[in-house]
Amino acid sequence: MTAMRLGFWPPVYGNWIMTDSPDQGVASYEYVKETTLLAEQLGFDTLLLAEHFIHPNGAALDMVDAWTSAAGLAALTSKIEIIAAVKPGLRAPGVIAKMANSIDHISRGRFAINLVSAWWPPEYEMLGVPVLAHDDRYARAAEYIDILRGLWTRNEFSFDGEYYRIKDASIAPRSVQQPHIPIYIGGESEQGRALGARAADIFVMNGRPPEQIPELVTNMKERAQQHGRTIRFAMAGFVICRETETAANEEFQRLLALRHMQIRGADKEVVMHQVQPHDQEKVGTNGGTMAGLVGTPEMIAERLRHFESLGIETFLLQFHPTLEEMQRFGTEVMPLLIP
């Protein structure tokens, strides 16, 4: 069995809970850098930089860019994997292929991408990019990933699709990692699962209770096998760690009362929002506390081990406030996970 990999979401939004201590953890590259250096010091394996061009809670709020931050972090770190999310349509695939290879060289082989099929129309509308229906977005994403893999592995690559055309393109130098940079893909819908099975190296699922994991893992393995592939699994989750279960639940209720993470203008056809609606009793994004990582260090470590036994290899964790709570996790939970 592959060893458990622990990751975190750098605070590109600033605070996960917008009304809590507005002077603490502002959205800035400096804060992202500080939390990343702490994560590497604590022994985290990876991080995921979410990509937004405007803050989900309002265009006037600061929002850190994923790709420029990824390049900066690649130069400052030495061990941790750096994953940058990318949304087809907002950045051309050929440009991303070149940038990704460059960051892979800066990091000496520690870079990966997370393909996101873009569920938030306001960003596209703001930037004058066509807003596609749900199924069409996945069709565009499928072309996008085919182009990335083609440019990463072939010279004079050409592609003629519905959304993109590439003519005799070559990207040099090739990436440090071969045959190409790792690809993380998630998706709750039929189209998301199909794309993940065909193209993902690591399939990312939203946080959910353990009893929901076996069906998804089995389904995705079977789908991947139909393409002659194997697939690994990652899951998101929001951590609330305290000395007692009562104290952890009290903190959960406090954060729940402060929560203002309701995305304005999200596409209601997105299955993620149907399966895990924003008005559900949870904190964090992408399932958040639905993974049940709320409790004492021992409870959280046991829960993570249980998820691992079900096939989850990589955990992409959210903390609030990021710096302080990640330090707590590293000090109190991570030692319990050492074999």
The gap from C-alpha 289 to its chain's centroid, in whole angstroms, comes to 16
Q: What does the pLDDT read at residue 122?
A: 86
* Gap between the Cα atoms of 115 and 61, Å rounded: 24
Reported as type and span, the H/E element at residue 318 is strand 314-318
Domain count for the chain, please give it. 1
Q: What does the pLDDT read at residue 274?
A: 44
β-pairing verdict for 165-169 and 157-160: antiparallel
CB 12 within 8 A of CB 27: yes
Q: What does the pLDDT read at residue 277?
A: 45
CB 115 within 8 A of CB 86: yes
CA dihedral 238, 15, 79, 213 (to 10 degrees): 20
Q: What does the pLDDT read at residue 271?
A: 43
Find, among 78, 96, 171, 87, the residue nearest to 130 by Cα: 87
Which residue range is the domain that position 169 belongs to? Answer: 5-337
Q: What is the token pair recorded at 32?
A: 């992202």
Q: What does the pLDDT read at residue 83?
A: 98
Report the largest interatomic distance among the alpha carbons of the chain, rounded to a whole angstrom.
61
Give the burial string for 221-257 (b: 16+ CB within 10 Å, else e): bebbeeeeeebbbbbbbbbbbbeeeeebeebbeebee
Task: Report residue 295: phi and psi, to 5°.
Answer: 155, -155
Q: Coil, strand or helix: which one is 186?
A: strand
pLDDT in tens, the chain (339 residues): 568 999 999 999 887 666 556 555 689 999 999 999 999 999 999 999 999 888 877 778 889 999 999 999 999 999 999 999 999 989 999 999 999 999 999 999 999 999 998 667 888 888 898 889 999 999 999 999 999 999 999 999 999 999 999 999 999 999 999 999 999 999 989 999 999 999 999 999 999 999 999 999 999 999 999 999 999 999 999 999 999 999 999 999 999 888 754 444 444 444 444 444 444 588 998 999 999 999 999 999 999 999 999 999 999 999 999 999 999 999 999 999 987
Question: Side-chain half-sphere of 79: how many Cα atoms within 13 Å?
Answer: 13
CB 65 within 8 A of CB 90: no
CB 84 within 8 A of CB 182: no
- State the CB neighbour count (10 A cutoff) for residue 53: 18
Question: Side-chain half-sphere of 15: how many Cα atoms within 13 Å?
Answer: 15
Q: What does the pLDDT read at residue 54?
A: 85
Residue 110 sits in a domain whose CATH number is 3.20.20.30
Reported as type and span, the H/E element at residue 66 is helix 66-76
CB 151 within 8 A of CB 93: yes
